[in-house]
Structure 1
Amino acid sequence: MKHFFRTATLFFGAAGLLFSASTGAQAQDKTPKYSNEFLNIGVGARALGMGKVQVSLAQDATAGYWNPAGLLSQKAKYDAVLMHSELFSGIVKNDYAAFSMPLDDKSAIGISAVRVGVDDIADTRDLINEFGYIDYSKIRYFSVADYGVLLSYARKIGNVEGLKFGANAKVIYRNIGEFADAWGFGIDAGMQYDKGNWRLGLMARDITTTYNAWSINADELKPTPGAPLEEIPTNRTEITLPTFVLGVGRLVKLPGEFTALAAVDLEVTTDGQRNTLISSSAVSVDPRAGLEIGYKNVAYLRGGVSNVQQIQSFTGSEEWKVQPSLGVGVALSGLRLDVALSQLAIEKLGGRTQTNNIIVSLGYGIK
């Protein structure tokens, strides 16, 4: 146990150094926010059912997304995961696929692909012809989609039992129909340490800062006839500043072949002040918590809370809101089926309740 606390101190020390290094480099008051935010939605119904608490827990192909160091802990030789979810009543489609495998007893690799998009958007700029009549044949449709591909590598370094390291090289493509697109590249790095029933994790996303180079097709961005002229955007570079996630989890055996896995993550963003529980001009901290109750490693019940925000209601009063989530899972003969229900943490609009999101993922491991 003494060795565990020494390693835990190393984790927290490394996190502190990374946080201070990023904040020291940002003296300006205004920093870019929410770039490549589609990569922060989360993947896997197990993770989303637990409030996105996975940095210290991920142990299958989804580890390539949450923390690549976890690829070394997967139980199957080959593991694959597919996920589909729909946000905002089905308007936004979120799809994900991943595969991972070991190279030897000290290293593993994985590949992950994410697409988040809105399809069949109507372009009605030519709806009214030159004679002032409506011509529905002139309506065109386009999609807005973000793509991310992550190439992951994990390796055990040194002789410390339970200590693992991993990294991602990620390629990003963002597309707005024929109007604009962007290419980006970034690097993530992560660590995990397991000792008995304790698990620690540290993930640094966009550790080198990720750059997206946008290319604008000005010829396609013609204004609507009769509408006020608007400035057409020009080519530019969008940057994503580092984000750090520190997590700790513990597995507890319960009577009757039940288990309980509880975990907490702290996500620290370095892009200035956000609407989070702990917020400052330098960094913002968003805590998350999750719990998984298992029975015979076959059936699972999950719950979590995340996205703590202060919301102003229509009456003008301010109150704290959280995003709750629930999930269930079944694992049989290498096949895993997980379903999660997540609720957007937004205020009621017009007396209507906020939208529920259903996430379904399927995983399969081959020994």
Structure 2
Amino acid sequence: MKKNLFLLFLLIGLTVYSQTTRKYSNEFMNIGVDAAAFGMANAVTASTADVNSGYWNPAGLVALEDNQLSLMHASYFANIANYDYGAFAMPLDDRSVVALSLIRFGVDDILNTTQLIDDQGNIDYNRISLFSTADYGVTFSYARALPLDGLNVGVNAKVIRRIIGDFASSWGFGFDAGLQFNTGDWKFGLMARDITTTFNAWSIDEEEFSTIQGAVEGQNQELPETTEITIPKLQLGVSRKFVFHYDFSLLAEVDFNFRFAQTNDIFSTSFTSMTPAAGLQFGYIDLVFVRAGVGNFQNIQQLDGSDSVGFQPNIGVGFKYKGIQVDYALTDIGDQSAALYSNVFSLKLDWSVFR
């Protein structure tokens, strides 16, 4: 029974790719990066201004004055799945910056029991093997300050690599574009993800796939389609920073996240769906930070058929000293949304600390 349940789960995971254009595709690229951003419920499209801007809005990279390095780790599903991120950004001159980032979301050491029983019907535990399923996203970013004071632009080129053991793998390519406009204490941001749609081409090992089909009786014997297209998404943000008595600051931002499909977002039509997010960051002398945010508002159908609104509250703290910044976030406090909670840790280094 356990073997069949596992194989059925894996088979469903493979056949998910049979739809060529889907509402949800390459979702690991939408989880987010940087514990500071998680603490603000990912409402950072307008205010992002460091190495992590390569993910949130590449236009924000223009704010860098020196090289920066960022690292992050989070675990999901009771530490079964690991989510890791690393990024490096480098100014080319006083008006342009380049960055490179890598995301990995994976589950390792999964038991492959498809060959557990031999041709004579005997159970042989030596026939059990291990495999991993992992998603990789590599992003190349370029940002430049435009002649209009306060207006910056950035673009991303993404390479997606997805692997499901020896059963299937894919390559994908896509582009993002972002804008930021800063005027006084106000900042405005626009981020368009997968603007040309992101195309994934799957390669399926028919021989390996047939071992699943033979182990799970009554399942579809046809191979999944081998193409997958990720539709564009749009994020709009506005933020303002308030300073009190020189030592205390408050950064507030509101974002609006759009998908061009009908989803479970709190506002949804046949053309587009939208969910808001809001975040706050309280800072003391640019040394200690306390953060809170709420987002991911979704319409959730209960077991009795009624609908309710789920949301994701997050909190976080951070510490910054001489170019070294350590951040922590706890996401989905109280399990108020369908998303799973997680502890997120990140580290950011300014290259000046090595000089």
Q: Same fold (TM over 0.5)?
A: yes
Match of 2:306 among 304, 313, 317: 317
- Please state how far the C-alpha of 1:185 moved relative to its aligned partner: 0.7
Is 1:266 aligned with 2:256?
yes
Distance 1:324 1:348 in 2: 8
Residues 146 and 175 of structure 1 are in contact (CA less than 8 Å); yes or no, is this contact kept in structure 2? yes
Residue 173 of structure 2: aligned partner: 185
For structure 1, list consecutive stretches of 5 or more residues without a partner in the other structure. Answer: 1-29
Distance 1:342 1:234 in 2: 35
- Please state how far the C-alpha of 1:235 moved relative to its aligned partner: 5.0
Distance 1:147 1:122 in 2: 21
Q: Amino acid of the residue matched to residue 113 of structure 1? A: L
Residue 330 of structure 1: aligned partner: 319
- Please state how far the C-alpha of 1:348 moved relative to its aligned partner: 9.2
Distance 1:153 1:38 in 2: 22
Residue 122 of structure 1: aligned partner: 111
- Please state how far the C-alpha of 1:225 moved relative to its aligned partner: 4.6
Is 1:161 aligned with 2:149?
yes
- Please state how far the C-alpha of 1:126 moved relative to its aligned partner: 1.3
Counterparts of 1:1-367 in structure 2, within 5 Å, are 32-74=22-64, 76-158=65-147, 160-222=148-210, 223-225=213-215, 227-228=217-218, 230-255=220-245, 257-270=247-260, 272-343=261-332, 355-367=340-352
Q: How many aligned residue pairs are there?
A: 331
- Please state how far the C-alpha of 1:232 moved relative to its aligned partner: 3.9
Change (3 A) 1:216 1:346: farther
Change (3 A) 1:318 1:51: same
* SS of the residue 2:62 aligns to: helix
Distance 2:114 2:179 in 1: 50
TM-score (norm 1): 0.86
Residues 35 and 346 of structure 2 are in contact (CA less than 8 Å); yes or no, is this contact kept in structure 1? yes
Distance 1:348 1:52 in 2: 15
Change (3 A) 1:98 1:51: same
Distance 1:106 1:226 in 2: 58
Residues 325 and 343 of structure 1 are in contact (CA less than 8 Å); yes or no, is this contact kept in structure 2? yes
Q: Which runs of 4+ in 1 moved over 6 A?
A: 344-349
Residues 325 and 341 of structure 1 are in contact (CA less than 8 Å); yes or no, is this contact kept in structure 2? yes
Distance 1:73 1:348 in 2: 34
- Please state how far the C-alpha of 1:309 moved relative to its aligned partner: 1.0
Residues 313 and 336 of structure 2 are in contact (CA less than 8 Å); yes or no, is this contact kept in structure 1? no
- Please state how far the C-alpha of 1:224 moved relative to its aligned partner: 3.7
Distance 2:126 2:333 in 1: 37
RMSD across aligned positions (CA): 1.9
Q: How much identity, in percent, do the aligned residues show?
A: 45
Distance 1:348 1:239 in 2: 27
- Please state how far the C-alpha of 1:141 moved relative to its aligned partner: 1.3
Residues 69 and 154 of structure 1 are in contact (CA less than 8 Å); yes or no, is this contact kept in structure 2? yes
Q: Amino acid of the residue matched to residue 128 of structure 1? A: I
- Please state how far the C-alpha of 1:221 moved relative to its aligned partner: 1.1
Distance 1:323 1:297 in 2: 27
Residue 6 of structure 1: aligned partner: none
* SS of the residue 1:130 aligns to: coil
* SS of the residue 1:104 aligns to: coil
Residues 215 and 235 of structure 1 are in contact (CA less than 8 Å); yes or no, is this contact kept in structure 2? no
Residues 21 and 229 of structure 2 are in contact (CA less than 8 Å); yes or no, is this contact kept in structure 1? no
Change (3 A) 1:204 1:225: closer
Distance 1:226 1:361 in 2: 42
Change (3 A) 1:109 1:316: same
Residues 289 and 306 of structure 1 are in contact (CA less than 8 Å); yes or no, is this contact kept in structure 2? yes
* SS of the residue 2:59 aligns to: helix
